[in-house]
Amino acid sequence: MAALAAYGTDGYAATSLDALAEHLGIRKQTILYWFPSKRALFEAVIDDAASSLIEAFDAATSSDLVGMDQVEAIIRRVLRLAVQRPELLGLVREVSRPGSLSAERLADRVAPVFARAADFLAREMDAGRFRRSDPSMLLLSLYSTVVGVAGEFEVQRAIGLESTLRVAVERQRELVRFLRAALVPSG
C-alpha cells in the first residue's frame, strides 16, 4: 500500500490511476474498490506519510538530548530519510505547495511535532544554550534549511555539487556547522 507514494515523486496530477495500477500489477478498478476516489487515495497516502514522518521525528527525539546534540540527531534522521525514502520528502514538497489540495490534512497531523519543536527551542533559549529569538520564526528558518539541504537535488546540481556519498557526508557536516553557528551564542 505504501508503494502508492508514487505521488511523492511525480505529483498528484501527473499520476493517473491507470499508471498506478499498472505499476502495482492490478486493474484500476481494484484501486477504486478500496478507495472511493483518487482524492481519497491521495489523502490515505498523506496520512501514511504523516505517520512515517512523526515516527521518524519521535525516533530522533527519544533520547532526551539537549542543545546541538538534539539538533544534530534530527538532521541526521532527516538526511537519512531523504536518501532512503525520497518519496516522503517529495510528498511533503508536493503537499506544502501554496494552494495545495490537502495541505491542511498533512499540516493538522504534523502540527504537534512543530509545537514540540518550538517548545524545545524555547527551553533551550531559557537555558542559555541557544541564541534568544522568536521560537516560531527560528523554527521556520531551521525547517527551511534542513529540508532544503535534504531535498533540493536539482539546486545542488545547478550549484555544481556532485551527488556522491562522500559529498553527502560533507554536506551533513557542513549543515551541522552552519546551524551550530546560527544557533549557539557566540560568547
Partner DNA sequence: GAGCCTCTCTACCACTTGGTAGACAGATTT
Partner DNA sequence: AAATCTGTCTACCAAGTGGTAGAGAGGCTC
- Contact positions toward DNA, by CB under 7 A? 15-19, 26-30, 32-34, 36-39
Instruction: State the nearest-atom distance from the C-beta of 33 to a second copy, in Å.
Output: 26
Q: Which of 65/147 has CB closer to a second copy?
A: 147
Q: Which of 33/178 has CB closer to a second copy?
A: 178
Contact between residue 49 and residue 41 where contact means Cβ atoms under 8 Å apart: no
> Residue 62 binds what, of DNA, a second copy, none (CB under 5 to 8 Å, by partner type)?
none
Instruction: State the nearest-atom distance from the C-beta of 109 to DNA, in Å.
Output: 22
Q: Which of 1/155 has CB closer to DNA?
A: 1
Contact between residue 47 and residue 9 where contact means Cβ atoms under 8 Å apart: no
The 3-class SS string of the chain reads CHHHCCHHHHCCCCCCHHHHHHHHCCCHHHHHHHCCCHHHHHHHHHHHHHHHHHHHHHHHCCCCCCHHHHHHHHHHHHHHHHHHCHHHHHHHHHHCCCCCCCHHHHHHHHHHHHHHHHHHHHHHHHCCCCCCCCHHHHHHHHHHHHHHHHHCHHHHHHHCCCCCHHHHHHHHHHHHHHHHHHHCCCC
**22-30, 31-39, 64-72, 145-153 -> range binding a second copy (CB under 8 A):** 145-153
- Told to check if 19 binds a second copy by CB under 8 A, we report no
Which of 37, 51, 63, 144 is in the footprint of a second copy by CB under 8 A? Answer: 144
Q: Which of 39/157 has CB closer to a second copy?
A: 157
Exposed (0-12), middle (13-18) or buried (19+): which is 155, by Cβ within 10 Å?
exposed
- Told to check if 122 binds a second copy by CB under 8 A, we report no
- Told to check if 51 binds a second copy by CB under 8 A, we report no
Q: Which of 34/153 has CB closer to DNA?
A: 34
Alpha-carbon gap, residue 5 to 54, rounded angstroms: 16
Residues near a second copy (CB under 8 A): 9-14, 86, 90, 93-100, 103, 106-107, 110-111, 114-115, 118, 131, 133-134, 136-141, 143-149, 151-161, 170-171, 174-175, 177-179, 181-183, 186
